[in-house]
Amino acid sequence: MIEHGVGAATAATLLDALSTRVEQVVVLTRAGLSRTDDVDRAAGATEIDVIRACEVVVRIAQGVQHDAVSALEARRTGAEPSQDPSAAQPRTRSLRAEVGMARGVGNGAGQHSLDVAIALRDHPMTHALLRDGAISASVAAAVCAETAPLDRRRRRRIDERVVSVLPGMSVREASAAARRHVLALDAAGCADRADAARATRHIRLRRLSDAMAELTVRAPAEQVIAAWRRLHSDAFRQKASTDPRTTRQIAADHAIEALTGVDVDTPDGSSTHAPAEIGLLMRPETLFGVDDAPGVLDGYGPVPAALCRRLAGREASWLRRVFTDDRGDPRDADERRRRFPARIARLIRTIDGHCLRPFCDCDATDIDHVDPHGAGGLTTVDNAQALCRHDNLVKEVPGWRVHASTGSAATGDRTPIPDTVTWTTPTGHHYAARRRQRVDQPWPHRAGRGRGELSPLETHLRDLVSVHRPDRR
């Protein structure tokens, strides 16, 4: 049974501590501003003082935030003291999502907050430095990460040893300082963990702006270093005075060629002759140059209309075009079937981009029913959302509710794809996620392609699109 009065008292204590510490920082900063001489003030000294004060306030708030996360975890664990690990998984999954949504971050960051908050219980001196604004949350987290494999007694010993040197340290320096103590206290364990860590090798994709992406490889250090040196050595040997590319660009091109088996034969890092499947979600007007509405590159997200047309014009490309109609709503599925058909799944995954749970940045692995199938939810595009596996499980934990809504009226017998999906947590907090990749709205800007640049067939199709596009009113 959760004691509501105790919870309110804990929250009040945390807020009082936050208010007192922040007020002290503001008062001291104001006093310091009054003592600044005119020469330093003219150079911007007072602005620097405010920047430093804000950083201290952020650190204090993060320290108190970790206290709140720790108290929440202890409250939930005390309310459900089951020793069965399988029973604890839904609680941990729910906590991870709730903390992440309260912070406005994804599941990984929510789990990080939980891990650090729990670990700081065994690092009371490091936590005290964070609450006082003497170190950053990243420094505190680095110490916790290095000592995580140790037992509670040795974690506290290291906490006592590093506390005096942490203020003024960078994250890298704090990690090294804690690691030295860990190696001294548990040399054999460190060797075993280094061997075990090789099982965690993986690759990770990160989408960047301007139609770029980043592929990260986690592997044994000696292999990654050898690959790095090989790529750069080959790039330096190949670099010629007539090659417009830098050595870093050549190294990147070599890596892509090795991974894809496709030669990079253009200065911008593209390939013009090798077959490649490209999934694009776009309006017909975009392809034929009627307007410059951005398209959506499957697996990446929004890309400029000009890039869509360039990709679509590559002779060797197999373009999987997913054109949207007035609402982008295919209706060729059995509404009672359990799984979404491939066409709807592809459309929803492309429209949502990644997990639709508010603040989650994970790739979408599941196409889920907003209204659960078991409760009568239909297998239709207006009842579909893209989720990661974690959040697909979270929404089934007791206390969670998900509701879809739209600001657009239905047209005829067509139900529009919902614009917004709202998640309600077990604590009654509401978080709304809007569809990320809608391309079914007219775009006001005209494309640069003139009629003279189009083939006769493209000109005819563009005219048909302009005349026969369904009314959107």
pLDDT tens digit sequence for 223-245: 999 999 999 888 888 877 677 88
How is residue 200 written in tokens? 């965690």
pLDDT digits 0-9 by tens, 281-338: 666 666 666 667 777 776 677 778 777 777 766 655 555 555 544 444 444 444 555 6
- In angstroms, the CA 162 to CA 174 distance is 8
pLDDT of residue 330: 42
The percent of residues above 90 in pLDDT, for the chain, comes to 35
User: Are β-strands 317-323 and 276-282 bridged in parallel, bridged antiparallel, or unpaired?
Assistant: parallel
Sheet holding 420-424: strands in order across?
401-405, 420-424, 430-434
pLDDT digits 0-9 by tens, 417-427: 787 889 999 88
pLDDT digits 0-9 by tens, 366-394: 888 888 877 888 888 888 888 988 998 99
Q: Is the pLDDT score of 17 beyond 90?
A: yes
Phi and psi at 401, nearest 5°, equal: -135, 145
Mean pLDDT for the chain overall: 80
pLDDT of residue 325: 46
Amino acid at 97: A
- Identify the top-confidence range among 29-33, 371-375, 376-380, 457-461: 29-33
- Give the mean pLDDT of 193-197: 88
Pairwise pLDDT comparison (144 vs 289), residue with the higher score:
144
User: Are β-strands 295-297 and 276-282 bridged in parallel, bridged antiparallel, or unpaired?
Assistant: antiparallel
pLDDT of residue 142: 95
CA 254 from centroid of its chain's CA atoms? 28
pLDDT of residue 162: 95
Pairwise pLDDT comparison (466 vs 75), residue with the higher score:
75
Q: Is 9 helix (H, G, I), strand (E, B) or coil?
A: helix
Buried b / exposed e over 136-154, threshold 16 CB at 10 Å, is bbebbbbbbbbbeebeeeb
Do 280 and 312 form a contact (C-beta atoms < 8 A)? yes
Amino acid at 255: A
Q: Is the pLDDT score of 38 beyond 50?
A: yes
pLDDT of residue 414: 47
pLDDT of residue 338: 64
pLDDT of residue 294: 72
- In angstroms, the CA 293 to CA 378 distance is 31
Nearest to 2, CA basis, from 425, 429, 428, 427: 427
pLDDT of residue 352: 77
Do 354 and 348 form a contact (C-beta atoms < 8 A)? no
| Ordered alpha helix ranges (H), 330-419 | 342-352, 389-394
- Give the mean pLDDT of 407-435: 74
